[in-house]
Chains A and B, each alone.
Chain A
Amino acid sequence: MAYRRRKNKHTAVKVIATLLVIITALLCTACAALDFLPPEIAEIFNSFLGNEEDGGGKNNVPEYVDLDSIPAYSDNAYVVINSNKPFFKESDYTTKAYENYSELDSLGRCGVVMACLGKETMPEKDEERGKINNVTPSGWVQKEYSNDIVSGRWLYNRCHLIGWQLSAENDNERNLITGTRYFNAGNAEEQGMLLFENMVADYIKETDNHVLYRVTPVFEGNNLVASGILMEAYSVEDEGEGICFNVYFYNVQPGVEINYATGESKLAD
């Protein structure tokens, strides 16, 4: 498949780009250590490298995410935002498949991921999901609880921002965050991200259409664990008739108190 070949090629380009960024960062670190740069120039370098004290901007969310409009968690795993209308711009709409994953910030946290999903981006028939446990997302302080508190016992999942069934991405560190079981799963008790991924995957398989898709993790301040994610989706060819939603998922686990700054957790009082 041509898209997959391009994707592999892109992976090679990404490796080279990553190496260049690392070299640049090392040079800049050396410059900072010499301490000869004027403060305003140093600020520009720090800004470029994402070294601000708050980790890259106020609450690290783009302007389309209005944190004040998100109600506090109350029993539902997700809440509809902006009457289910995504915040995409007209210029975002395309039927050409792509996936764009933000670089990790200075605290090792994922950023916005955006894609035009189609059959081109999805796993091949009979393709099996690969391992992801070699990735340690920010805030990964795993802890075991009893099964009546966390189904499957382990509090955290490595949560794909764009699910494997939509992107065929396995251990891409720019697509994996620390998320609770409740936040990630989709079953009778847990109404997490998987439910929406299922809906989008079915739609693409049945129509061959494309879905514009964006997932924005929300990290408050310097927290290493996201408070939640905003998931937006819009089916392009039929102008949203098939898929159109804008939903915020709470990264919580009922019965567990999470320290979002570190990822540590304990039983709730």
Chain B
Amino acid sequence: MNLIVCLDNRNGMMFGGRRQSRDKLLCERVMALTTGKLYMSEYSAKIFPESEKIVACGDYLTAAGKNDYCFCEEPPITLENSEKIIIYRWNRHYPADRHFHFDLEELGYELASTEEFIGNSHPTITEQIYKKVR
């Protein structure tokens, strides 16, 4: 499974049960990147355009198959079965009470690529792709 998360400068994900931020161009990029199905929660599906690729369900983290993608905004997250982790960094500071706590290199992931792009409401979003190497 390919896991996708969005993080602020302190690896924050949510505050008060809500996402920290969103960006239309990031959603378009995720859609373009995805081959196969894109799993996510009902909450996340509301910010994506309608598409047959999208599967919105409660158990999206476990339902996604080996080559599918999983867009996760709501911790807790398990990295089990995640061969690839795609991190989008907002490059901004937001309040957070839920975080992405993992040390990816410690867990056997290696940074394979880094790319920056301009978002709709974010001057620079950084895409980092980590691959499982051991």
Contact = CB atoms under 8 A, between A and B. Distances in A.
A191 B95 contact: yes
B18 A242 contact: yes
Contact of B93 (A80, A195, A205, A206): A195
Contact of B16 (A80, A188, A194, A206): A80
B53 to A, nearest CB: 21
A198 B16 contact: no
A199 B10 contact: no
Interface in A193-229: 194-196, 198-199, 201-203, 205-206
A244 B16 contact: yes
A199 B121 CA distance: 11
Interface stretch (B19-27, B70-78, B102-110): B19-27
Interface in B4-41: 9-10, 15-18, 20-24
Contact of A203 (B17, B22, B95, B122): B22
Contacts, number: 52
A183 interface: no
Contacts of B18: 241-244
B81 interface: no
A147 interface: no
B60 interface: no
A78 interface: yes
Interface in B80-134: 92-95, 120-122
Contacts of A151: none
B16 A245 contact: yes
A8 interface: no
A74 interface: no
Contacts of B23: 202, 206
A199 B22 contact: no
Interface of B: 9-10, 15-18, 20-24, 92-95, 120-122
- Counting from the closest, the 9 A-B pairs by CB-CB distance are A205-B121, A84-B16, A202-B21, A186-B93, A195-B95, A199-B94, A206-B22, A202-B121, A195-B93
17 contacts: A84-B16, A84-B17, A186-B93, A188-B9, A191-B93, A195-B93, A198-B92, A199-B21, A199-B94, A199-B95, A202-B22, A203-B21, A203-B22, A206-B22, A206-B23, A206-B120, A241-B18
